[in-house]
Amino acid sequence: MRRSPKDTEASSRKITRRGLVVGGLQAGMLGALGWRMRQMQVEQADEFRLLAEENRINMRLIAPARGLIADRNGIPVAENTQNYRIVIVREDAGDVDMVIDRLRQLIYLDPEELERSLREIKRRSPFVPVTLTDQRSWEDIATVAVNAPALPGIIPDVGLTRYYPLGADFAHVVGYVGPVSDYDLNRIEDDDPLLQIPKFQIGKTGVENKFERPLRGKAGSKRIEVNAAGRVMRELGRDAGIAGSDLQLTVDTALQNFTEARLSLINSAAAVVMDTRNGDLLAVGSTPTFDPNAFVRGISVQDYAELTENKYRPLANKAVQGAYPPGSTFKMLVTLAGLDSGEIGPEDTFYCPGYHELGNRRFHCWKRGGHGYVNLEKSLQQSCDVYYYELAQKVGIDKIAEVARKFGMGERFDIPMSAVTAGIMPDKAWKSERYSQDWRVGDSLNASIGQGYVLSSPLQLAVMTARLASGTGIMPRLVKSIDGVETPIEGAESLGFNENHMRLVRKGMYAVSNTRRGTAYSSRIADDQLRMAGKTGTSQVRNITVAERARGVTSNADLPWERRDHALFVAYAPYDNPAISVSVVVEHGGGGSSVAAPVARDIMLFALHGKMPPLESYPSNQRAGIRELQRSLPVHDVVRPVRSDRA
């Protein structure tokens, strides 16, 4: 059936309208698409270019060189050395176990170290390099490089690691670094991304720990091109990090070595040497000691157990952590409290029959037969206990504590060493707060001879002696400079005591070391220009019963080591122009005059001479024995050029 012309015309009009609508829609879509393309390519070009770069470029941290640590003369005590290591990238290795088996056929891998590395591999992302072994020889690195085609994912590498050239000498002062652990990450509040690098080294103890952030420096970075799977294709560039700050300590390496060597002849001891003029700590010794290099890579369980189970506690820095009854070395402060309060004068005397009675209890003097009538100088010279029992009852504990605190007793000094103790300087308020008990007269008598509740560290005793010598509140200083900028000297102002009183105390200390009846006369210095003023001390660690006194007190030699008395000695020299103070504590060593004083004298003479003391500084009848002692000491040559590996 044929359509009429009218129908045909109407149909054509409909098709034309539809075409226009469809065409308009198409044109609109094309226009919107073009506008969006222009927006993305022109207006948002920078944003999308950045996204594209981030997709194909990875940033990786570069560990900075750790700051160097040197002694007061620039001799390095902590430096960085090249560390040849072998790392693995799990994503590149494929079958990790197979690749490691091949590697073990070429070089030796410590099983314990390998086990730690395998645990680390499982924890890290597959493209993060993990150290399998370090501190390797160049021959090992060359062997791995030659066999690289058979070791996918294994990469020979070189970096920096910490090294302590003087080994055990500075272990307790500088401390050591070690790989960052989960415990470290949980313990410290530090968002530095460097801590996420496997086996990154951080300070664990000592100066390394206390100055961790400035020593660490700031990370660098490198840009590497990676494929979609994260595999490294090439390095595009790098930005160097900022090396850590360099520290210079106040410690003298030669003196530190001699101090450690002299103390090493004793089971367990500590010594501190301080400059009385500026507070510089010239030596801080503690024995037995240990090699800090063993901790750098992560010490084995067996080696660590040997250190922790040693009854002489080699890991403890007894010079600042140890708190001991100061014994008779405390008597100078009680004397000064008596003078300052006006309770005694230099010629006032107390009678010593060998004991002091308080109620129905006897407080004994170390000399069973007593000292007779004793004045101030004689009380220090012969260390009469009864004199101080009597004096303490007159002065009272609060005045004694007030004076003692001005000399550093009971103070935790702010030096960058681990677990510095404050010791204890008790008074009435302290006992009431600690034990909810009243202070008793017997407590004062015990405190007057450095026993009872009183506890102090060798560091505090060295500071006390330096302040007695100088009359100032000088503070101990361990860090001499940071990046060449000198650290300030603190506390050089006068303590405010009557200078005549200070002279009386010093004169008594001089008598201890330089008069025939002095308790340290056998440890005197023979050189008139270097005469030493000192004080012996012996502190009990056990109670002596009435029955034991009746039958005779058991000698230290007949007691187990742990029950023997501590031996102490403090001194400064030269007497007329004080420059050096020394404190020595020998754990369970016995008598201060026979054990601690000779050690302190040897250390003092080395500090004054700056080298092995000449025999002429010793009494003539002792020189043959001193010669043999000096020959037996394990001292070593400490003069080395400063190394500064930074790359």
Q: Where are the alpha helices (DSSP H) in 382-527?
A: 385-395, 397-406, 428-435, 441-448, 458-470, 499-514
Lowest average pLDDT, out of 116-120, 367-371, 585-589, goes to 116-120
Cis peptide before 76 (omega within 30 of 0): no
Closest CA to 358 of 398, 328, 385, 335: 385
- From residue 77, how far is each of 196, 463, 480, 641 by CA, in Å? 27, 25, 14, 11
Lowest average pLDDT, out of 168-177, 388-397, 501-510, 534-543, goes to 534-543
| Residue that wins the pLDDT comparison between 397 and 243 | 397
pLDDT at residue 123 tops 90: no
* Tokens coding 111: 């099983």
Beta bridge partners of 424: 455
Q: What pLDDT, on the 0 to 100 scale, is given for residue 29?
A: 80
Q: What pLDDT, on the 0 to 100 scale, is given for residue 189?
A: 74
- pLDDT tens digits along 178-215: 888 777 777 777 777 777 776 788 999 999 999 999 99
pLDDT at residue 310 tops 50: yes
Tell me the pLDDT of the chain averaged across its residues: 88
Q: What pLDDT, on the 0 to 100 scale, is given for residue 550?
A: 67
**Mean pLDDT across 329-357:** 96
The answer to whether residue 383 is catalytic is: no
The single-letter code of the amino acid at 519 is T
- pLDDT tens digits along 630-647: 999 999 876 544 444 443
- 434, with CB counted inside 10 A (0-12, 13-18, 19+), is exposed
- pLDDT tens digits along 525-572: 999 999 999 999 999 887 777 676 767 778 877 788 888 899 999 999
Q: Please state the domain extents for the chain.
A: 59-249, 253-632
Grouping H, G, I as helix, E, B as strand and the rest as coil, residue 282 is strand
Could you give the CA distance from residue 582 to residue 285 in angstroms, rounded to a whole number?
A: 11
Q: What pLDDT, on the 0 to 100 scale, is given for residue 14?
A: 61
- pLDDT tens digits along 408-443: 999 999 999 999 999 999 999 999 999 999 999 999
Percent of the chain at pLDDT above 90? 62
**Mean pLDDT across 463-469:** 98
Lowest average pLDDT, out of 142-151, 273-282, 379-388, goes to 142-151
pLDDT at residue 457 tops 90: yes
- 198, with CB counted inside 10 A (0-12, 13-18, 19+), is middle
Grouping H, G, I as helix, E, B as strand and the rest as coil, residue 131 is strand
59-249, what's its fold?
Answer: Penicillin-binding protein 2a (Domain 2) (3.90.1310)
| Residue that wins the pLDDT comparison between 457 and 8 | 457
Q: What pLDDT, on the 0 to 100 scale, is given for residue 226?
A: 61
Exposure class string for 215-239: b at 16+ Cβ within 10 A, else e: bbbebbeeebebeeeeebeeeeeee
Grouping H, G, I as helix, E, B as strand and the rest as coil, residue 538 is strand
Q: What pLDDT, on the 0 to 100 scale, is given for residue 2?
A: 60
Confidence of residue 52 (pLDDT cuts 50, 70, 90): low
The single-letter code of the amino acid at 624 is A
End-to-end CA distance of the chain: 98
Q: Beta-carbon neighbour count of residue 13 at 10 Å?
A: 9
pLDDT at residue 175 tops 80: yes
| Residue that wins the pLDDT comparison between 513 and 182 | 513
Could you give the CA distance from residue 487 to residue 533 in angstroms, rounded to a whole number?
A: 30
Could you give the CA distance from residue 219 to residue 63 in angstroms, rounded to a whole number?
A: 5
Out of 328, 418, 448, 583, pick the active-site residue: 328
Q: What pLDDT, on the 0 to 100 scale, is given for residue 1?
A: 53
Q: Are 476 and 459 in contact (CB under 8 A)?
A: yes
**Mean pLDDT across 367-380:** 96
Which numeric CATH code is attached to 253-632? 3.40.710.10
Q: Are 519 and 598 in contact (CB under 8 A)?
A: no
**Mean pLDDT across 288-312:** 91
- From residue 475, how far is each of 39, 144, 492, 579 by CA, in Å? 69, 54, 8, 14
pTM for the model: 0.85
- pLDDT tens digits along 209-263: 999 999 998 877 777 666 554 455 676 777 777 889 999 999 999 999 999 999 9
Q: Are 375 and 510 in contact (CB under 8 A)?
A: no
Q: Are 332 and 509 in contact (CB under 8 A)?
A: yes
- From residue 631, how far is each of 261, 277, 612, 635 by CA, in Å? 11, 32, 10, 9
Could you give the CA distance from residue 231 to residue 90 in angstroms, rounded to a whole number?
A: 10
Angle at which helices 331-341 and 385-395 pack, to 10 degrees? 40
Grouping H, G, I as helix, E, B as strand and the rest as coil, residue 412 is coil
Closest CA to 392 of 433, 417, 358, 415: 358
Q: What pLDDT, on the 0 to 100 scale, is given for residue 642?
A: 42
Q: What pLDDT, on the 0 to 100 scale, is given for residue 644?
A: 43
- From residue 455, how far is each of 326, 333, 409, 450, 474 by CA, in Å? 6, 14, 8, 8, 21
